[in-house]
Copies of this chain bind each other. A is one copy, B any other.
């Protein structure tokens, strides 16, 4: 924590929260396209100037509004076997991307990133999907012999593509995907890895 701003009226936490909630609500209600800074300000009961003071784009606000929820929803409890871990994660990822409010926000951000370099950078810095996937891989498959970036893409990619290309989430067989990922993934079994760590 850095001590900044010793003097002057402190930032209104109420206004901040109202803005973030307003964005969340508006995106879910009317979709990202219909969200405007004007609308956010009115909904939050806040002056537009107040928004511009702290954020410069819709995307920035949306990222801040959804980041916490995103992390939480992509956090899966540890399971006994790597297979269970991976399936649970893929299910969570599918639910996040296709049904969750935070997921809606995330997809909107990915969309914006395709034609807005600032958003792309913003998203690269704090990408909840990529990070959560990397964590799961490290946890479920310690001692694996994959390159982590590629492994992350292999794990996340299929679900990511499925949802973002508009396919029906209900028709995706995550078990199949998990099996495929595990088949080519770990160069060593979990037991082997445990033995290695024991030595």
A158, CB-defined interface residue at 8 Å = yes
A40, CB-defined interface residue at 8 Å = no
A194, CB-defined interface residue at 8 Å = no
**B173 contacts A180, CB within 8 Å?**
no
Partner of A147, one of B129, B156, B165, B176: B176
Residue of A116, A123, A161 with highest tally of chain B CB at under 10 A: A161
Using Cβ atoms and an 8 Å threshold, which residues of chain B touch A179? Answer: 184
Q: Which residue of B lies closest to A182 (CB)?
A: B184
Residues of A176-191 whose CB lies within 8 A of B = 176-177, 179-180, 183-185
A37 to chain B, nearest CB (A): 15
**B111 contacts A113, CB within 8 Å?**
yes
**A165 contacts B115, CB within 8 Å?**
no
Q: Which residue of B lies closest to A35 (CB)?
A: B115
Q: Which residue of B lies closest to A120 (CB)?
A: B166
A-B contact pairs, 8 of them (CB 8 A): A32-B115, A111-B112, A111-B115, A113-B165, A123-B165, A124-B166, A129-B165, A149-B172
**B162 contacts A157, CB within 8 Å?**
yes
A93 to chain B, nearest CB (A): 11
A18, CB-defined interface residue at 8 Å = no
**B32 contacts A114, CB within 8 Å?**
yes
A96 to chain B, nearest CB (A): 14
Partner of A180, one of B116, B124, B164, B184: B184
**A31 contacts B165, CB within 8 Å?**
no
Q: Which residue of B lies closest to A114 (CB)?
A: B111
Using Cβ atoms and an 8 Å threshold, which residues of chain B touch A110? Answer: 111, 114, 164-165
**B121 contacts A166, CB within 8 Å?**
yes
**B165 contacts A161, CB within 8 Å?**
no
Using Cβ atoms and an 8 Å threshold, which residues of chain B touch A67? Answer: none
Using Cβ atoms and an 8 Å threshold, which residues of chain B touch A150? Answer: 158, 172-173, 176-177
Using Cβ atoms and an 8 Å threshold, which residues of chain B touch A113? Answer: 111, 164-166
